[in-house]
């Protein structure tokens, strides 16, 4: 596994942990602080979207220019190597899309939570009047 895929794997694992933390029930004060902290982290973490997009383009280019092994001349070892590279490419595509989807879901969860906070403040003001 190359370095970029290792980095992407760790980022996906961290995003999954953050998504889990955001969706677990917790006290309101803790949830508010957690959402504000994660919202601060999301801005610099946006690099993952173009990084994953570039990796997807790289996979596409390699797939278009890959030597195919579909003739009778190919040996079993060549065919296995070809199939292994196809499986790795499929795994990496899933990894890239998961990274983008997890980033988007964390962003939306934080945004919804902030909107709920604003609505609760408006409701408190109306109740106090």
Tens-place pLDDT, residues 4-49 = 889 999 999 999 999 999 999 989 899 999 999 999 988 888 888 8
Q: CB of 37 within 8 A of CB of 128?
A: no
Say if residue 55's pLDDT is above 70: yes
Q: Between 16 and 83, name the one with better pLDDT.
A: 16
């Amino acid at each position: 596994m190359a370095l970029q895929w290792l980095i992407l794997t760790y980022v996906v694992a961290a995003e999954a942990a953050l998504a889990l933390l955001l969706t677990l029930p917790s006290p309101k004060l803790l949830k508010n602080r957690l959402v504000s902290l994660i919202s601060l982290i999301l801005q610099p973490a946006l690099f993952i979207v173009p990084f994953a997009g570039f990796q997807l383009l790289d996979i596409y280019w390699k797939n278009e220019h890959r030597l195919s092994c579909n003739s009778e001349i190919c040996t079993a070892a060549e065919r296995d190597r070809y199939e292994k590279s196809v499986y790795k490419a499929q795994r990496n595509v899933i990894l890239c899309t998961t990274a983008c989807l997890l980033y988007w879901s964390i962003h939306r969860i934080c945004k919804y939570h902030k909107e709920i906070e604003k609505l609760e403040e408006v409701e408190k003001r109306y109740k106090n009047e």
